[in-house]
Amino acid sequence: MKISEKRIELLQPVVLGDREFQRLGSFIMSQYGIKMPPHKKTFLQSRLQKRLKALSIKDFKGYTDFVLSSRGQQEELPSMIDAVSTNKTDFFREPIHFDYLLSYGLDEYTARTGKKSLSVWSAGCSSGEEPYTIAMLLKKFSQIRQNIDYNILATDISNSVLQHATVGIYGIDKIAPIPAEYRIKYLQKGRDTYQHKFRIVSEIRNKVIFQQLNLLEKEYEGIGKFDIIFCRNVLIYFEREVQYRILMQLCHHLSVGGYLFLGHSESIAGLNLPLAHIKPTIFIKTGHQR
């Protein structure tokens, strides 16, 4: 059975040329700080194929012209950023951070500051696993220390992952890292078409506010100060100078004596920041820059 030439043409991916890759990559880097070195051309081409199809645009020149236009930046930019953003995350990822908080950090911080309400920011929260992990942990701490309350802000650049996070429904494979004591208390098993899905219970969901935020914005308006900030496995996608700018912003919104948690492959070495090293990827804000 022969396949028509037109059918073969439709099956082949649209090729992203060097010029359009440079135009798109430069824009993504300047506006969002996401690195687009030459080896990411295939990645970008693959991620944007569906956008060309959805918009019935035949090539990347047409797509690039559109997305960089005034209309395109209003209508298409959120979808493009959703497509190129990396959203890898898990419940209880890098558990050393949660072990530190529960075994020492939370007790030490509340005793030192006398605070009865803790404010936490999950920056780059993706589909919600990190902020919900933090909420479960703080719920446990609040039960041990009954006079402690907490709230969590979770932000990400991608609206699509934030919508998923707000609903709080996860497949059985995603909840596997959650310890049994937390699964029993804080997950509801779905029924019928959702029988293989689990939802975070409302008392945990209600502790997290999800909000869209681009970490490259000059000022993070209206989000206030935090006692603890998680920004893990986010900075690795940015150039060093952009990492420094973001870290300075995070420090500005972190209370003196508060904790900052970074990802296992991220470092502040060589950067002049008001942070003191406690343990690998765990820092405390000091009153001055080093």
Rounded-to-integer distance, Cα 152 and Cα 229, Å:
10
Tens digits of residue pLDDT in 197-250: 999 999 999 999 999 998 888 788 888 999 999 999 888 878 888 899 999 999
Burial class (CB in 10 A: 0-12, 13-18, 19+), 151: middle
- Domain 5-84 adopts which CATH fold? Chemotaxis Receptor Methyltransferase Cher; domain 1 (1.10.155)
Q: Which of 51, 82, 156, 232 is catalytic?
A: 156
pLDDT > 70: percent of the chain: 94
3-class DSSP state of 169: strand
CATH number of 96-285: 3.40.50.150
Q: Which residue has better confidence, 241 or 178?
A: 178
Active-site annotation holds for 47: yes
Ranges of each domain in the chain: 5-84, 96-285
Active-site annotation holds for 192: no
Q: What integer best gives the mean pLDDT of the chain?
A: 88
For residues 27-38, give the mean pLDDT.
80
Question: In this model, does residue 1 exceed pLDDT 80?
Answer: no
Q: Which two tokens stand for residue 110?
A: 């509340």
- HSE-CB at 102 with a 13 A cutoff on CA atoms is 18
- 162 confidence band (pLDDT: 50, 70, 90): very high
Phi first, then psi, for residue 60 (nearest 5°) are: -75, -25
Q: Residue 47: what pLDDT?
A: 84
Q: Which of 47, 93, 199, 245 is catalytic?
A: 47
Q: Residue 86: what pLDDT?
A: 65
Q: Residue 225: what pLDDT?
A: 94
DSSP-derived letter for residue 234 is S
Question: In this model, does residue 260 exceed pLDDT 80?
Answer: yes
Give yes or no on whether 5-84 and 96-285 have one common fold.
no
Rounded-to-integer distance, Cα 159 and Cα 127, Å:
10
Q: Which two tokens stand for residue 97?
A: 């951070």
| Largest interatomic CA distance in the chain | 77
Q: Show Cβ contacts of residue 21 under 8 Å, excluding neighbours closer than 6 positions.
A: 36, 41, 44, 45, 60
